[in-house]
Amino acid sequence: MKSIIAKLAVLAALFSPSAALAQVQQDPAGSGPIVNALGWLQGTLLGNVATAVAVMAVAAVGFMMLTGRLNWRFGATVIIGVFILFGAASIVAGIQGVAA
């Protein structure tokens, strides 16, 4: 009799909904405008216009560094910043891959 009750208890535990199964990755309530604004910002920072501006900025900074009109440290900071901006998605994916 006890083994039947134990088996029924195990079956009930297996088929009952648990907290881990109920968790779904969703945006918090009221975050729609924030998510939309961040999506717009990402599109602006990584769009065609931003890419053209970044190319011109790196070219200008590189030319100024070569002619001695710009500090090498500041120029390197600008160039590294552009690489981080456009490589952010790859950087985050790499970090998530290592953490998983």
Domain definitions of the chain by residue range? 47-100
Residue 11 is predicted with a pLDDT of: 55
Reported as a single tens digit per residue, the pLDDT across 34-84 is: 888 888 888 887 888 888 988 999 999 989 999 999 888 988 898 898 888
Angle subtended by helix axes 48-67 and 72-86, to nearest 10: 160
**Using H for helix, E for strand and C for coil, what is the string for 19-67?**
HHHHCCCCCCCCCHHHHHHHHHHHHHHHCHHHHHHHHHHHHHHHHHHHH
> What's the pTM value of the predicted model, to 2 decimals?
0.52
Report how far residue 94's alpha carbon sits from residue 100's, in angstroms, rounded to the nearest whole number.
Answer: 10
Q: Which residues of 71-82 are buried (b: 16+ CB within 10 A; e: fewer)?
A: eeeebeebbeeb
